């Protein structure tokens, strides 16, 4: 009997590289009960809080963020990889294990003073989330929290985001990854 979100997440060994334990949330998304549970638990800490927009990080954050925004009756803003958004954007680079990546958001997606919740499936090193926070703040928005399905605490993402002064909410964690 499945009782919590972690029970719905499949682990695939050696993907995308040898030695990686990939935490696959597509099995969570495919199950109506599991998906509903995850969305409800992601937004629960923010019930009653003023949230003007939900910001989803590419790509699984779009699925979760869209559902959370719907439940909160608010707008949704995607933060995408460089070159994926039409129109005027602002960009933010961040470090990967080997190199650099860039994410972007439309330059009119958020208004100064708007309160936003950042949503994604997985918190690892925190680089993508930190870049997303920076983009939101550059547009004048206030990040009220960061919500993830999975936290991989050994990779330091939570420490990074909390060190930047942001609240982190994760539904489950996998240690040793």
Ranges of the chain with pLDDT below 70: 2, 177
DSSP 133: H
Domain residue limits, the chain = 48-173
Residue whose token pair is 């439309």: 106
Enumerate the active-site residues.
60, 97
Q: Which CATH class is domain 48-173?
A: alpha beta
Beta bridge partners of 95: 100
* Distance between CA atoms of residues 177 and 168, nearest Å: 18
Tell me what pLDDT residue 177 has. 65
Q: What is the pTM assigned to this prediction?
A: 0.96
The token pair at 45 is 């800490």
pLDDT tens sequence across 92-129: 999 887 789 999 999 999 999 999 999 999 999 999 99
């Amino acid at each position: 009997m499945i009782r919590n979100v972690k029970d719905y997440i499949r682990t695939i060994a050696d993907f995308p590289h040898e030695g990686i334990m990939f935490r696959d949330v597509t099995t969570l998304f495919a199950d109506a009960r599991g998906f509903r549970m995850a969305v409800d638990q992601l937004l629960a800490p923010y019930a009653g809080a003023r949230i003007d927009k939900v910001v989803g990080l590419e790509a699984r954050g779009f699925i979760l963020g869209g559902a959370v925004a719907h439940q909160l009756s608010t707008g949704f803003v995607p933060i995408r990889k460089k070159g994926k958004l039409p129109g005027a954007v602002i960009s933010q680079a961040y470090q990967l294990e080997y190199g650099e990546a860039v994410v972007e958001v439309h330059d009119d997606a958020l208004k100064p003073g708007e309160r936003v919740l950042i949503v994604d499936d997985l918190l690892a090193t925190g680089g993508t989330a930190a870049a997303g926070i920076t983009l939101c703040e550059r547009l004048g928005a206030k990040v009220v929290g960061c919500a993830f399905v999975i936290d991989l605490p050994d990779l330091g993402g939570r420490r990074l985001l909390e060190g930047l002064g942001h609240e982190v909410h994760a539904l489950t964690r996998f240690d040793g990854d």
